């Protein structure tokens, strides 16, 4: 398992240069803790492509190249050189891409998806986790996923990944093409609703751009006005804009949807689009809430509401373990989809106020179920080198520390 970063897009930090190696180490620690991946099979990698963080470049203790980041052809050549070298040394490795910059993350993933067994946790892991949360909300609201109207506030790497994974789930449910599925989405970035007249859109944003002629009478920079016009059933935050889901916005959403799904996913807590306690109060306990950071239970009018956390640690360790156990040649969309379903199926939603996602305290159990589901999907998709994998096989692959007596 290779966890690879170039340190450009570290969550909550930004461009951290080669210091991003600490993120790669941390992710691998979670692989071992949450899914029992043997540490001897884990390797953190930081690609030193320079840094645009001037303070780092001038710091006497900075260990990386003291130059601005590579761009364009030079950057792509550097990534290509690394991929080919890593393939030669580790022909059966899983390439986990982490915290690459917004302009590069999707392109690298798409370029090498069929060349190496790879995935991007910021794009695909986050997206699959939100699918798990979204599926849980539909079990309570009784609004099928393909009947939802979804505003995603924040159209960066995570926001696009969320849209991609949910749209794939919709396409699987309805057997309809992407052009139909994408009509459920309204993506909002710093310049407002993403529309096709904007000139600086990423490839991912272009896929979901709405026809600007449909919104000429609307202030598309106002989330409140968008909520009034679109009447969303689901509101997802991936913006890092603290407090963006204001009381007016939330109350307007609740006026049009009996059980609105509201997911302020930005973290850490100080960057969250709303507090769970406020969402419960403003919707009189009707909101279906998942947050991006750990949140204490909320008491409201004698009812306790447990708040689920969309923590990628619930999904990517099991995905990685299942990929390793099955010796999959690639990670397919169906493998990600089954991982999301496995997470969602771990919760019991029969009592009021239940959390919509499993607790982090049951990580190993959740990861085991995810890994088994991923193995079965890999076999069915024809990308696994190992067949007839049982639950016991997955359990047997889990590494546990054994300390020898001296």
- Going along the chain from its start, the domains and CATH numbers come out as 2-115 (3.40.50.10380), 122-406 (3.40.50.720)
Report pLDDT for 387.
Answer: 84
Please enumerate in sequence order all residues whose Cβ is within 8 A of that of 327, keeping only pairs 6 or more positions apart, or say none. 92, 384, 385, 386
Sheet of strand 117-120: strand arrangement: 43-46, 2-5, 94-97, 117-120
Q: How far apart are CA 373 and CA 340, in angstroms?
A: 9
Q: How far apart are CA 307 and CA 262, in angstroms?
A: 11
Q: Could you give the 3-state DSSP secondary structure of residue 172?
A: helix
Tokens of 355: 């959390």
Burial class (CB in 10 A: 0-12, 13-18, 19+), 177: exposed
Count of C-beta atoms within a 10 Å radius of residue 351 = 7
Q: How far apart are CA 279 and CA 262, in angstroms?
A: 8
Q: What is the pLDDT of residues 108-124, one digit of tens each?
A: 999 999 999 999 999 99
Report pLDDT for 115.
Answer: 94
Report pLDDT for 371.
Answer: 98
pLDDT at 12 over 80: no
CB of 374 closer than 8 Å to CB of 389: no
pLDDT at 404 over 80: no
Report pLDDT for 391.
Answer: 96
Q: What is the pLDDT of residues 163-204, one digit of tens each?
A: 999 999 999 999 999 999 999 999 999 999 999 999 989 888
pLDDT at 405 over 90: no
Work out the average pLDDT over 240-260: 96
Q: What is the pLDDT of residues 51-104, one digit of tens each?
A: 999 999 999 999 999 999 999 999 999 999 999 999 999 999 999 999 999 889
Q: How far apart are CA 48 and CA 227, in angstroms?
A: 43
Residue whose tokens read 């080198």: 385
Q: Give the β-pairing of 303-305 and 298-300.
A: antiparallel
- Bridge partners for 358 per DSSP: none
Q: What is the DSSP letter of 307?
A: -
Q: What is the pLDDT of residues 288-321, one digit of tens each?
A: 999 999 999 999 999 999 999 999 999 999 999 9
């Amino acid at each position: 398992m290779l966890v690879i970063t170039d340190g450009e897009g570290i969550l909550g930090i930004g461009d951290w240069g080669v210091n991003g190696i600490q993120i790669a180490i941390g992710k691998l620690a979670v692989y071992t803790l949450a899914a029992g991946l043997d540490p001897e099979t884990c390797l953190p990698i930081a690609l030193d492509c320079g840094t645009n963080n001037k303070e780092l470049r001038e710091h006497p203790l900075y260990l990386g190249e003291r130059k601005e980041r590579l761009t364009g052809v030079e950057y792509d050549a550097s990534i290509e050189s690394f991929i080919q070298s890593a393939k030669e040394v580790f022909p059966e490795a899983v390439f986990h891409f982490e915290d690459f910059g917004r302009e590069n993350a999707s392109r690298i993933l798409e370029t090498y998806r069929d060349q190496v067994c790879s995935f991007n946790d910021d794009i695909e892991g986050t997206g699959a986790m939100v699918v798990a949360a979204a599926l849980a909300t539909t079990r309570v609201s009784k609004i099928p996923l393909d009947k939802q109207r979804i505003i995603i506030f924040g159209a960066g790497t995570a926001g696009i990944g969320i849209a991609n994974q949910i749209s794939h789930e919709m396409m699987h449910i309805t057997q309809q093409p992407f052009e139909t599925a994408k009509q459920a989405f309204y993506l909002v970035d710093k310049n407002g609703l993403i529309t096709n007249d904007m000139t600086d859109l990423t490839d991912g944003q272009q896929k979901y751009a709405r026809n600007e002629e449909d919104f000429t009478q609307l202030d598309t920079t106002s989330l409140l006005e968008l909520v009034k016009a679109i009447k969303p059933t689901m509101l997802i935050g991936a913006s890092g804009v603290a407090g963006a889901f204001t009381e007016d916005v939330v109350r307007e959403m609740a006026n049009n949807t009996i059980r609105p799904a509201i997911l302020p996913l930005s973290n850490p807590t100080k960057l969250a689009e709303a507090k769970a306690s406020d969402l419960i109060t403003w919707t009189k306990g009707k909101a279906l809430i998942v947050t991006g950071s750990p949140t204490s239970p909320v008491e409201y009018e004698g009812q306790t509401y447990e708040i689920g956390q969309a923590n990628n640690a619930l999904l990517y360790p099991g995905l990685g373990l299942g990929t390793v156990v099955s010796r999959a040649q690639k990670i397919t969309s169906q493998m990600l989809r089954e991982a999301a379903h496995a997470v969602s199926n771990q919760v019991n939603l029969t009592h009021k106020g239940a959390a919509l996602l499993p607790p982090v305290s049951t990580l190993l159990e959740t990861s085991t179920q995810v890994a088994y589901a991923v193995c079965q999907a890999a076999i069915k998709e024809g990308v696994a080198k190992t067949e007839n994998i049982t639950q016991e096989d997955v359990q047997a692959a889990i590494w546990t520390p054994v300390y020898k007596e001296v």
